[in-house]
Structure 1
C-alpha cells in the first residue's frame, strides 16, 4: 500500500473516531483485536551545520515539511494467555528521498504464564538499560527523542526493533524486563580507525539487557514495550529504575596495526515521577544517568530526519544538517521537567529537556536544550507542539575538538493518535 493512501486512511480514522477500535472475539471481551495508529507531521526551520549540502548546494538554513513518524498497529488476545502485536510504519518521509516503504516494525507474540511472568518472542522493541531506551514517541516531552540511550539505532536494530526473546512482569511493586536479542548485521563495511572505536563489520553476537524499576506509588501498566514520558490522566507515580545492556565485539579499533574488538557495555539508573501539585496541575520529572562504554574514544553523530546529502570542505566535526554528537563512550545525564495544566476539556503542557554528556574523545561537554509547549485540544487524539531545540557545533583543530558555536531548530508539529 502506498504511503499516501495509508496516510489518508489514518487521518480519516483519527479525526472520525472518538474511541478505540476494538473487535471482541468472545462474549466476555477477554479475547479481542485492537487497532490503533499515530502520526507526527513536522514543519521545521533548521539552522544547518557549517558546510551542509542540500542537492549539492551549500545552505545555511532550510524550512521543510515531513512526516516524522507513521504507525498502524494491530494487537490482540486470542486466548486468556496468548497475545500478539503487529505494527507497521515508517520514519522520516521527507524531501531527501521519494520512496519510503511502509514496513513491518513489530511482529511478536507473548504468553502469560502468570501475572508476574510473561514470555515473548519475535521482532520487538523490548530492551533494557533505561526507561527511555524504548521511548513511547507518541508521548514525547521534547521535540524528539534523545539518542544517548540508543547508540546503535539503525545499526544493530531496525528503528529500535530486533529479533529477541524476552520476559517481563510485575512482582508486587517491582516491574522487570529481561531480553536476549540477536542484533542485525551492519550492512555497511567500515575500516577500523586508529585508536578510535567504530561499529564492527562482522557477525553480531547476542545482546543481553535488563531493566528493573521499583514503583513507590501508582503502578504503571506493561501493555507495551515502550515507556510513556507522561500521562494525560492524573497520576501519583514515583519510580526508581536500574538497567544494563551488553553486546560483545560490537565495535573495533586499530592499536599498533592490530584490530581490537570492544564490547558495548552500558549501565543506567533513572527516576521518573508524575505527581499532582495543584487541583489542576501535575508535575512530571525524569532524571537519568548512563555510564556508556562502546570502546576507545567511540563517538557517533546523529541527525534525526536529516535532509542534507553531506558537507563540503567547510564542514564541521558535527557532520551535516542537524547532526550532533548524540552517543559515545563517557558519562551521560538526561533531565526533563514538565507540567500538565488541565483545563475543562483540554490541556497545556510546557516542558524543558536537557542532555549533558562528557564523552572521552571530545574536549568540551555536549549540552543539548529543548524547550517545548504542547497543547491537547481533546486530551486524547490530537497534539500541537511548538518547540525550540539548541545543539552544539564541534570543530577539530590541532588535535583538540571543541564546541565553537550553537545552532537552533524551530519546530511546529501536529500529532494524531487513535
Structure 2
C-alpha cells in the first residue's frame, strides 16, 4: 500500500469584529446652585465607551478579559493518491488505486473561563468524510479509524482549579489520557501528514475517537507538567468489527469493563507549555523553545481475553501500555525570522495479550476486498497493522526554513 497525500489545512480561530460601541446613557449636568446655572449648557464630560468585540474568537466577560468565552474552527482537507492493498474493491469493483478528496477533520471548539476557577471545554466535529462515506447525519462507527461522516461530540469537560495552575479537578468526555505526548495531539499543529495515531492505541475500540469518560487531575509543579485520570471504558460490543468470542489471539473482552488508570508526566526544561486543554502541539514553528522529557502509562485490569489450549479455557488479563518520550522544538538562532528544528521520539511497550494485532486505515478509500481469504494481513485499501503486543518506536524530525523564504511563506520538510 502506497499513499501520497496533499493536506490542505484551513485553520480558523479568529473571528474579529470591529469594536462596537454600546449605547450611552445621557449624562446630567453637575449640581447647580441657581436656576441660571441650571439653564447653562455645560460641556459633557468624556465617558469611555464600553466595547463588545471578538478578538481571536474570544468574547471577554469582564473588564480585564480574564473571564471569557471563545470559539475556534478547524478544517483539514486531504487530496491524495492511494495505491491500495491487493484485492481492494470500491462498491464491489476491483480498484487497485484511487484518487480522492476528503475532509479528514472538521472541528468546532468552545472554551469558557466562567469564573476565576471554573473552566469548561467542548468540541464537536466530524472525521473521514470522503466519497465513500455515509452522507449527512449519522455516519458509521470507526472501524480501524475509518469511521465515516456524521457530527459527534468529541469533548465535553468541566474543571475546577483547586490550586490555580498547580492542581485542577475535571470530569467529562475528553482526552486527558496517559501514555505519551501524541496520545492527545493538537490537530491544528500537525507537523507531518497526519497525527501519529500509533499512540492512540484504543481509538474507537473502547473510547470515542480517542476521548474517554474520565475524572482527572492536572497541573504544574515547577517544571513538571502532570495529568492523571480514571476512565470508564466504552463497551467493546459497540465498536465496529468487534470480535464476538475469545480465541487463541487476544481481543478485548465482552465482559463489563473495569476502570482504566492512566497518567502522563512531562518535565519541561525550557519554555513552559499550556495545559489549558489536553492537546499537545506538533510544532511551534520556532515561536517557542521547548525541550521536554516525558513518561506515561495506561492500565486496565481484565481488559482482554483469549483461549489457552481449548475454547473453554478462557483467560483474562490486564491491558498495559508504557512509554517514554522526548520532544525538542526551538529556533536555531535568536533572530525573529530564524529557522527552527522540531524533533520527537517515543519508545512504547504495548501488552494487549498474546497475538493481538489491529489495523489502522485513516479515511480508507476502499470499501472491501475481492478475496476475503487473502493472506494480506493489512486488509483492503490503505489498512496496515498499526497496533499490537510488543515494542514500538516512533520518531519525527522537521526543519523549518527561515520565515518569509518565499514572499510571506516558508517551508518545513
Partner residue in 2 for 1:71: 107
Alignment partners' CA distance in 1, 2:216 and 2:12:
33
Instruction: Specify whether residues 243 and 346 from structure 1 end up closer, same or farther in structure 2 by C-alpha distance, changes over 3 A only.
Output: farther
Tell me the secondary structure at the aligned position of residue 218 of structure 1: coil
Given that residues 52 and 315 in structure 1 are in contact (C-alpha distance below 8 angstroms), is that contact kept between their aligned partners in structure 2?
no
Given that residues 199 and 250 in structure 1 are in contact (C-alpha distance below 8 angstroms), is that contact kept between their aligned partners in structure 2?
yes
- Choose from 348, 362, 366 the match for 1:308: 366
- In the TM superposition, 1:78-117 aligns within 5 A as 78-96=114-132, 97-99=134-136, 100-114=149-163, 115-117=165-167
Partner residue in 2 for 1:208: 261
- In the TM superposition, 1:178-189 aligns within 5 A as 178-186=228-236, 187-188=238-239, 189=242
Q: Deviations over 1:187-207 (max 9, x none)?
A: 255234542111222221111
The answer to whether 1:282 aligns with 2:340 is yes
Partner residue in 2 for 1:191: 244
Tell me the secondary structure at the aligned position of residue 101 of structure 2: strand
The answer to whether 1:161 aligns with 2:221 is no
Alignment partners' CA distance in 2, 1:194 and 1:109:
41
Shift of 1:262: 2.4
Instruction: Specify whether residues 78 and 200 from structure 1 end up closer, same or farther in structure 2 by C-alpha distance, changes over 3 A only.
Output: same
Partner residue in 2 for 1:382: none
Farther-moved stretch of structure 1 (38-47 vs 256-265): 256-265
The answer to whether 1:270 aligns with 2:306 is no
Partner residue in 2 for 1:342: 402
- Choose from 194, 209, 218 the match for 2:271: 218
Tell me the secondary structure at the aligned position of residue 177 of structure 1: strand
Q: Deviations over 1:370-395 (max 9, x none)?
A: xxxxxxxxxxxxxxxxxxxxxxxxxx
Alignment partners' CA distance in 2, 1:275 and 1:233:
5
Larger Rg: 2
Q: Deviations over 1:223-255 (max 9, x none)?
A: 210111111352221110011110122221111
- Choose from 343, 347, 351 the match for 1:293: 351
Farther-moved stretch of structure 1 (108-117 vs 138-147): 138-147
The answer to whether 1:23 aligns with 2:59 is yes
The answer to whether 1:119 aligns with 2:203 is no
Given that residues 89 and 104 in structure 1 are in contact (C-alpha distance below 8 angstroms), is that contact kept between their aligned partners in structure 2?
yes
Shift of 1:88: 0.7
The answer to whether 1:327 aligns with 2:394 is no
Task: Give TM-score scaled by structure 2 length.
Answer: 0.79
- Choose from 34, 50, 59 the match for 2:70: 34
Tell me the secondary structure at the aligned position of residue 348 of structure 1: coil
Tell me the secondary structure at the aligned position of residue 202 of structure 1: coil
Given that residues 12 and 74 in structure 2 are in contact (C-alpha distance below 8 angstroms), is that contact kept between their aligned partners in structure 1?
no
From the two aligned structures, give the one with the greater strand fraction: 1
Shift of 1:310: 1.8
Instruction: Specify whether residues 205 and 20 from structure 1 end up closer, same or farther in structure 2 by C-alpha distance, changes over 3 A only.
Output: same
Instruction: Specify whether residues 252 and 48 from structure 1 end up closer, same or farther in structure 2 by C-alpha distance, changes over 3 A only.
Output: same
Partner residue in 1 for 2:26: none
Task: Give TM-score scaled by structure 1 length.
Answer: 0.78
Alignment partners' CA distance in 2, 1:318 and 1:35:
39
- Tell me the C-alpha RMSD between the 2 structures: 2.1
Q: Deviations over 1:146-202 (max 9, x none)?
A: 222112110111111111001111011111000111111022552345421112222
Partner residue in 2 for 1:136: 186
Instruction: Specify whether residues 202 and 324 from structure 1 end up closer, same or farther in structure 2 by C-alpha distance, changes over 3 A only.
Output: same
Given that residues 340 and 347 in structure 1 are in contact (C-alpha distance below 8 angstroms), is that contact kept between their aligned partners in structure 2?
no
Instruction: Specify whether residues 122 and 315 from structure 1 end up closer, same or farther in structure 2 by C-alpha distance, changes over 3 A only.
Output: same
Alignment partners' CA distance in 1, 2:15 and 2:330:
33
Alignment partners' CA distance in 1, 2:128 and 2:182:
20
Instruction: Specify whether residues 168 and 89 from structure 1 end up closer, same or farther in structure 2 by C-alpha distance, changes over 3 A only.
Output: same
Shift of 1:141: 1.5
Q: Which runs of 5+ in 2 are unaligned?
A: 1-8, 18-54, 137-148
- Choose from 283, 297, 300 the match for 1:230: 283
